[in-house]
Amino acid sequence: MPYLIGGVTADYNNLIARTPAEFRSLNNIDVRTRHRVTAIEPEKRRVLVADLAGGENSLVEYTSLLVATGAVAFVPPVEGRDLDGVFPLRVLADALGIMDYISRETPTRAVVVGAGPIGLEMCEALRRLGMGVTLLEMAEQVMPLIDPELASDVQAVLEREGVTCLLGERLEGIEGAGRARRVITGSGAVEADLVILGIGIRPNVGLASEAGVELGARGAIRVDRNLSTNLPGVFAAGDCATTTNTVTGAEAWIPLGSTARKQGRAAGERLSGADTQFPGVQGTSVVKCFDLTVGRTGLTPSEAEAAGFEPVDTVMEAPSLHEYYPDGGNMHLKLTAEKETGRLLGAQVVGEMESGADRRLDVFAMAVRASLSADDLQYLDLAYAPPYSTAVDAAIIAGNLLSGAVYGKTCGCTPEGLD
């Protein structure tokens, strides 16, 4: 949706994966839009449905029920959140509302609240439209999902592209007479005639919880590997449901579009009678921030320590290509391993778009999923030719350095650590 708002995608219809008519014609699925399930009666295996167009209620029986209610945008309970010009960004209607507002009111100063992936994408989109943009983040860094030494690269690019970063600042309120005019922070005010709330999401579990479905991590619906809930015949998948962190083995809530898609497929097979199980995910994600690729997979060092591991890590910068070959770009990588076994626990990447940092992230994601060690990384058989990588790829060099850290052969630290 940020790419639709910023003009990269021309037609919102291209964002619709499949229409109700296509579901009917291609799959013989009875899709009932403008209907709302208002209650689940698990003991009678039926749901109460309100027809929002016709105004009538009905009861629909089920053999199996899949709850896929997703998540909702978190809107903080601050004064002014209902003013015109204040938008969350969660569903397509939000994006269309933002586009209509921009067309109608021609805002020139925007505040984006939240420096996560959606916040970064919206900063780029609004700068493409020529707006002045201020990014407001409660944490002391942008992209709190990655470690500070890599996040500083992201902040530098944001500021180079004209985004003002206000870090360690909390949204206190929004002021204006019917329309947003300024954002109030803990230390002052920022003029704004458009406010995007990219603070985060919460699992949409009210309907399931009222029916007696058990909740788990972060308040999401607790499911097992069969995607079953505690109620007979009731399943859940997507952003409303928990999953298993494949690195730690613990229950987790990792709401990503890719996770929801895979859970949905597994649930569909399960409901169709297959013995499919969903193994879990490790939280691999990537985002474009102007000309940077920013991503992570698995655990950061602090997350690994919190999970009971003794982590070691290494940080490196590397070019994607030899200097004699044109193009390419630089990457900043951070890898985390378990000290005792050398097992790769996680990786973080920040790289210029030309660096292929996303490709290296996928290498690390596969290595984490396969429980490869730092030693294994050193001898990966990766494709090489001058237009694509250096003779010893950055992923392999990172394995060299990480292996040295695991065995105590090398000692590296940041300037802060040296001090």
Given this model, what pLDDT does residue 408 score? Answer: 85
43 in any annotated domain: yes
What is the distance between the alpha carbons of residues 332 and 319, in angstroms, rounded to a whole number? 9
The answer, yes or no, to whether residue 392 has pLDDT greater than 90, is yes
CB-side neighbour CA atoms (13 Å) of 26: 6
Given this model, what pLDDT does residue 413 score? Answer: 63
The answer, yes or no, to whether residue 391 has pLDDT greater than 90, is yes
Task: Please tell me whether residues 192 and 227 are part of one structural domain.
Answer: no
Given this model, what pLDDT does residue 77 score? Answer: 95
The answer, yes or no, to whether residue 117 has pLDDT greater than 80, is yes
| Residues 10, 15, 20: CA angle, nearest 5 degrees | 130
Task: Please tell me whether residues 111 and 174 are part of one structural domain.
Answer: yes
16 in any annotated domain: no
Given this model, what pLDDT does residue 412 score? Answer: 61
The answer, yes or no, to whether residue 362 has pLDDT greater than 80, is yes
What is the distance between the alpha carbons of residues 110 and 329, in angstroms, rounded to a whole number? 31
Given this model, what pLDDT does residue 416 score? Answer: 66
Task: Please tell me whether residues 163 and 88 are part of one structural domain.
Answer: yes
9 in any annotated domain: no
Return left, alpha or beta for 47; rule: phi > 0 is left, psi -120 to 50 is alpha, else beta.
Answer: beta
The neighbouring-strand residues paired with 39 are: 48
Task: Please tell me whether residues 60 and 142 are part of one structural domain.
Answer: no
Q: Of 201, 217, 249, which residue is a domain's last?
A: 201
What is the arithmetic mean of pLDDT over 326-336? 96
Given this model, what pLDDT does residue 272 score? Answer: 92
Q: What are phi and psi of 96, to 5 degrees?
A: -65, -35
The answer, yes or no, to whether residue 411 has pLDDT greater than 70, is no
Strands (DSSP E) found in 180-284? 182-185, 189-191, 194-197, 201-203, 234-236, 243-244, 251-252
Q: Of 176, 201, 226, which residue is a domain's last?
A: 201
What pLDDT digit, counting tens, does each position of 256-266 carry?
999 999 999 99
20 in any annotated domain: no
* Number of domains into which the chain is organized: 3
What pLDDT digit, counting tens, does each position of 30-55 carry?
999 999 999 999 999 999 999 999 88
What is the distance between the alpha carbons of residues 88 and 285, in angstroms, rounded to a whole number? 21
What pLDDT digit, counting tens, does each position of 199-208 carry?
999 999 999 9
Q: Of 166, 186, 201, which residue is a domain's last?
A: 201
What is the arithmetic mean of pLDDT over 274-283? 97
Domain span holding position 348: 291-418
Tell me how far apart the terminal alpha carbons of the chain are, to the nearest angstrom.
44
What pLDDT digit, counting tens, does each position of 167-183 carry?
999 999 999 999 999 99
Task: Please tell me whether residues 53 and 133 are part of one structural domain.
Answer: no
Task: Please tell me whether residues 44 and 186 are part of one structural domain.
Answer: no
Task: Please tell me whether residues 152 and 142 are part of one structural domain.
Answer: yes
Task: Please tell me whether residues 408 and 309 are part of one structural domain.
Answer: yes
What is the distance between the alpha carbons of residues 252 and 41, in angstroms, rounded to a whole number? 27
156 in any annotated domain: yes
What is the arithmetic mean of pLDDT over 321-326? 95
The answer, yes or no, to whether residue 417 has pLDDT greater than 90, is no
Q: What is the mean pLDDT of the chain?
A: 96
Name residues whose C-beta falls within 8 Å of residue 63's C-beta, 6 or more positions apart in sequence.
45, 233
Given this model, what pLDDT does residue 55 score? Answer: 87
Return left, alpha or beta for 314; rule: phi > 0 is left, psi -120 to 50 is alpha, else beta.
Answer: beta
What pLDDT digit, counting tens, does each position of 120-139 carry?
999 999 999 999 999 999 99
Percentage of the residues of the chain whose pLDDT score is greater than 90 = 96
Judged on CB neighbours under 10 Å (0-12, 13-18, 19+), 331 is buried
Task: Please tell me whether residues 409 and 317 are part of one structural domain.
Answer: yes
What is the distance between the alpha carbons of residues 208 and 204, in angstroms, rounded to a whole number? 9
21 in any annotated domain: no
38 in any annotated domain: yes
* Nearest residue to 395 via CA among 416, 353, 366, 415: 366
Task: Please tell me whether residues 257 and 324 are part of one structural domain.
Answer: no
Task: Please tell me whether residues 154 and 168 are part of one structural domain.
Answer: yes
Tell me the two tokens of residue 313. Answer: 């890590």
Given this model, what pLDDT does residue 103 score? Answer: 97
Q: What is the CATH number of the domain that holds 263?
A: 3.50.50.60
Question: At which residue do the structure tokens 């600042």 appear?
Answer: 169
108 in any annotated domain: yes
**Rounded to two decimals, what is the model's pTM?**
0.93
Q: Is residue 113 classed as helix, strand or coil in its secondary structure?
A: strand
Given this model, what pLDDT does residue 263 score? Answer: 97
Task: Please tell me whether residues 183 and 212 are part of one structural domain.
Answer: no
Percentage of the residues of the chain whose pLDDT score is greater than 70 = 98
